[in-house]
């Protein structure tokens, strides 16, 4: 059974999470607060940030908004994107995150990415120490391959710890997680909170008309990540289905990611409350099996993890 994340007062994690990566960057303080309040109004209880986002402004702004909501919200952040996964780096990152957000306890602390140069025993000893001190409640892993998660889970158990949640990339045109990550997490009882359900904005439909300002147009990394022709064809197909159903493409994209049989919790984000609204609408969108199948057919289903194709149903 998949672990359930709950807040300090026992409130369960919402069907979607909100990522505050844009806070203090593309979203100024006023826009950030508007999005936070829109999330609260929509029933979002799971908020995600990271030590490195916008040079700390994301954590600082998010922490300043919590106020009386704190006890009923799940606040997740990430450590050690830079500097490696040493015990010292994890501890110092966690402490700075606690100070920025003015929190005694971080509900989830992720290791932001796999570090091949640090023994994970050292990393999880630090996590265990932070949990013993009450500084964190749950351990997460971000951007880990399936084998790395399994290895981490085995090492965590040596310290009487477990991996509660993982954060891979997952959307209609980035489906590698379906091969091993999603089934692995389901088997081990690990919650999956995938990021980029909108494919960097590609699946909102704003690029299909030949325009649109955003990361794909402004960031070479995102342009390369989502530069393959089939991805843009899939985005155009999604926009057509959305128009037929009178639904925003972003709503369908987020709802599709959430509708996988392993029930992941996609992390939505935006630069403004107006931009966020279609993604938030996915909280209440009922994805039918027929629509799910039509959307799935827009992009290639990744091949299975084995080459024994004759054994695949």
> For the chain, how many structural domains are there in total?
1
CB atoms within 10 A of CB 10: 8
Decide if 116 contacts 143 (C-beta within 8 A).
no
**Rounded Cα–Cα distance for residues 249 and 202 (Å):** 10
Residue with tokens 């600082």: 60
Residue 131 lies in a domain: yes
Q: What one-character-per-residue DSSP string does 116-134 give?
A: TTS-HHHHHHHHHHHHHTT
Q: How many residues does the chain have?
A: 313
Residue 123 lies in a domain: yes
CB atoms within 10 A of CB 142: 23
Decide if 264 contacts 192 (C-beta within 8 A).
yes
Using alpha carbons, select from 164, 160, 158, 205 the residue that is nearest to residue 185: 164
Q: pLDDT, tens digit, for every residue of 238-255?
A: 999 999 999 999 999 999
Mean pLDDT of 216-224: 77
Residue with tokens 């500084």: 135
Q: pLDDT, tens digit, for every residue of 256-309?
A: 999 999 999 999 999 999 999 999 999 999 999 999 999 999 999 999 998 877
φ, ψ (nearest 5 deg) of residue 107: -65, -40
136-142 β-sheet, strand order: 191-192, 165-167, 136-142, 106-111, 74-79, 46-48, 17-19, 267-268
Residue 118 lies in a domain: yes
CB atoms within 10 A of CB 181: 23
φ, ψ (nearest 5 deg) of residue 36: -60, -45
Instruction: State residue 104's pLDDT score.
Output: 97
Q: pLDDT, tens digit, for every residue of 61-110?
A: 999 999 999 999 999 999 999 999 999 999 999 999 999 999 999 999 99
Residue 227 lies in a domain: no
- 311 has pLDDT over 90: no
Instruction: State residue 74's pLDDT score.
Output: 98
Residue 8 lies in a domain: yes
Residue 207 lies in a domain: no
- 213 has pLDDT over 70: no
Query: Average pLDDT over the chain, rounded to whole?
Result: 95
Residue 85 lies in domain? 1-167
Residue 83 lies in a domain: yes
Q: What one-character-per-residue DSSP string does 196-262 give?
A: -TTGGGGGGTTTTTT---SHHHH-HHHHHHT-SHHHHHHHHHHHHHHHHHT--HHHHHHHHHHTSTT
Q: pLDDT, tens digit, for every residue of 10-50?
A: 999 999 999 999 999 999 999 999 999 999 999 999 999 99
Write the CATH number for 151: 3.20.20.100
Mean pLDDT of 145-156: 98
Residue 105 lies in a domain: yes
Q: Per-residue confidence at 210, pLDDT binned at 50, 70, 90?
A: low
């Amino acid at each position: 059974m998949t672990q359930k994340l709950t807040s300090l007062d026992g409130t369960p994690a919402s069907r979607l999470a909100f990522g505050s990566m844009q806070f203090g960057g593309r979203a100024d303080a006023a826009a950030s607060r508007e999005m936070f309040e829109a999330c609260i109004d929509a029933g979002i209880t799971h908020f995600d940030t990271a030590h490195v986002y916008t040079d700390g402004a994301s954590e600082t702004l998010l922490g300043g908004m919590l106020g009386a909501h704190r006890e009923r919200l799940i606040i997740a952040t990430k450590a050690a994107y830079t500097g490696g996964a040493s015990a010292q780096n994890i501890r110092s990152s966690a402490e700075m995150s606690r100070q920025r957000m003015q929190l005694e306890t971080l509900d989830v602390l992720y290791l932001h990415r796999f570090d091949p140069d640090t023994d994970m025993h050292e990393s999880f000893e630090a996590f265990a120490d932070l949990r013993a001190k009450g500084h964190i409640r749950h351990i997460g892993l971000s951007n880990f391959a399936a084998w790395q998660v399994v290895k981490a889970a085995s090492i965590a158990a040596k310290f009487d710890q477990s991996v509660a949640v993982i954060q891979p990339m997952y959307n209609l045109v980035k489906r590698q997680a379906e091969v091993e990550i999603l089934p692995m997490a389901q088997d081990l009882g690990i919650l999956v909170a995938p990021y980029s359900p909108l494919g960097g904005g590609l699946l909102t439909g704003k690029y299909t008309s030949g325009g649109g300002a955003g990361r794909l147009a402004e960031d070479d990394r995102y342009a390369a990540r989502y530069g393959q022709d089939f991805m843009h064809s899939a985005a155009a197909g999604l926009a057509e289905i959305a128009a037929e159903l009178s639904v925003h493409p972003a709503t369908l994209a987020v709802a599709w990611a959430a509708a996988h049989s392993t029930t992941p919790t996609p992390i939505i984000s935006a630069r403004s409350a107006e931009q966020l609204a279609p993604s938030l609408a996915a909280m209440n969108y009922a994805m039918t099996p027929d629509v799910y199948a039509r959307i799935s057919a827009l992009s290639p289903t990744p091949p299975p993890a084995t080459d024994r194709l004759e054994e695949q149903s």
